[in-house]
Amino acid sequence: MTPAPAATASANTNIALIKYWGKADESLTIPTASSLSLTLGGTRTTTTVSFDDGADGADAVTINGAAPGGTARARVTRFLDLVRARAGLTAAASVVSSSVVPLAAGLASSAAGFAALAAAASRAAGMDLDDRALSRLARRGSGSAARSVFGGLVLWNAGVDDATSYAEPVVVDGADEPGGAGLDPAMVVIVLSEERKTIGSTEAMRATMRTSPLYPAWVEAGREDLRAALAAVRERDLPRLGEVVEANALGMHAAMIASRPSIMYWLPRTIEALHAVRAVREEGLPAWATIDAGPNVKVLTRGADAHAVVAALRDRLPGAAMTVRRPGGGVRVEGVAR
């Protein structure tokens, strides 16, 4: 018996600096706007996929040692169906995935998860996709996964269809540092709560688009935010980037909060953290907040100042867990066995 073809790949998570929130096409995950992100080092999810010709039953999925149920499992199977259809396979797959950071660490897990799954599943299915094609495939699993294919600063071009919606690294002429484009960006991840979110991103985006009177204004402002952010990156102007990053995230949450019924990921501690970041900034340290679909706050800062920022935040937020993350690399194929 020949062993089933297997492949192992890994990907880091990413945090959006200019957010993606809403799909123009749900079935293809075409976003309403382009987004900009920073891939974080030390946040890899590693996934092994094998297609077993003898197996025509259900896919076997293990994430951090447990079998996910419900929607999480269905999303993985639906994604594998897409890979099987492209590769002309019918075999069931075995998927084993583990992440170095716990799922409850306040970092988007689906971005790293689907980027690693896209790379491992496509390789195991015998496809050899280039990075752009891989980003397009990862996008179908989870929008933000399109960005985790690449390291450092990454732009996801919204596009208008499957072929034109993909991420790419942001390259700055003469940048002395490929991952950080000479800006020396870093993130302080503040974990305020490890409780599972009450409403998933996909559903929350749908509700915001449909019911929030502020949504169109946020999308409109976001186009200008992206232009300003890219200009700030080109000019290596971290304060200018930070200001637009914080404003863009707060605008996204304002639009969510204005949904009917309201979508509120913030906890009282979230607001405390926002004030703490502002106070630290007023003391002269580089610190700008961003928040995703949860209560935790991530702080954009300069790598050289990251530890000073953590120390200043600790005084104001006793008991909150904080981790410094620096720019990380893109998808890595760790091994292929055929």
Specify the residue, 29 or 323, whose C-beta has the smaller distance to ligand 2P0. Answer: 29
Specify the residue, 144 or 301, whose C-beta has the smaller distance to ligand 2P0. Answer: 144
Specify the residue, 290 or 301, whose C-beta has the smaller distance to ligand 2P0. Answer: 290
Burial profile 315-330: b = 16 or more Cβ within 10 angstroms, e = fewer? eebeebebbbbbbbbb
Q: What residues between 187 and 246 interact with ligand 2P0 by CB under 6 A? A: 201-202
Give the x-and-dash track for 36-55 against ligand 2P0 (CB under 6 A): --------------------
User: Which member of 10, 13, 29, 46 binds ligand 2P0 (CB under 6 A)?
Assistant: 29
265 forms part of the interface with ligand 2P0 (CB under 6 A): no
20 forms part of the interface with ligand 2P0 (CB under 6 A): yes
Specify the residue, 71 or 90, whose C-beta has the smaller distance to ligand 2P0. Answer: 71
Window contacting ligand 2P0 (CB under 6 A); options: 17-25, 83-91, 275-283, 306-314 = 17-25
Window contacting ligand 2P0 (CB under 6 A); options: 14-22, 184-192, 219-227, 330-338 = 14-22
- CB of 147: closest distance to ligand 2P0 in angstroms? 8
Specify the residue, 99 or 144, whose C-beta has the smaller distance to ligand 2P0. Answer: 144
Give the x-and-dash track for 269-308 against ligand 2P0 (CB under 6 A): -----------------------xx---------------
144 forms part of the interface with ligand 2P0 (CB under 6 A): yes
Specify the residue, 21 or 150, whose C-beta has the smaller distance to ligand 2P0. Answer: 21
- CB of 129: closest distance to ligand 2P0 in angstroms? 19
157 forms part of the interface with ligand 2P0 (CB under 6 A): no
Structural contact between residues 10 and 77, judged by C-beta atoms closer than 8 angstroms? no
The site for ligand 2P0, by CB under 6 A, has a size of 15
Q: What is the 3-state secondary structure (H, E, C) of the chain?
A: CCCCCEEEEEECCEEEEECCCCEEECCCCEECCCEEEEEECCCCEEEEEEEECCCCCCCEEEECCECCCHHHHHHHHHHHHHHHHHHCCCCEEEEEEEECCCCCCCCCHHHHHHHHHHHHHHHHCCCCCCHHHHHHHHHHHCCCHHHHCCCCEEEEECCCCCCCCEEEECCCCCCCCCCCCCCCEEEEEEECCCCCCCCCHHHHHHHHHHHCCCHHHHHHHHHHHHHHHHHHHHCCCHHHHHHHHHHHHHHHHHHHHCCCCCCCCCCHHHHHHHHHHHHHHHCCCCCEEEECCCCCEEEEEEHHHHHHHHHHHHHHCCCCEEEEECECCCCEEEEEEC
Contact positions vs ligand 2P0 (CB under 6 A): 16, 19-21, 29, 35, 108, 110, 142-144, 201-202, 292-293
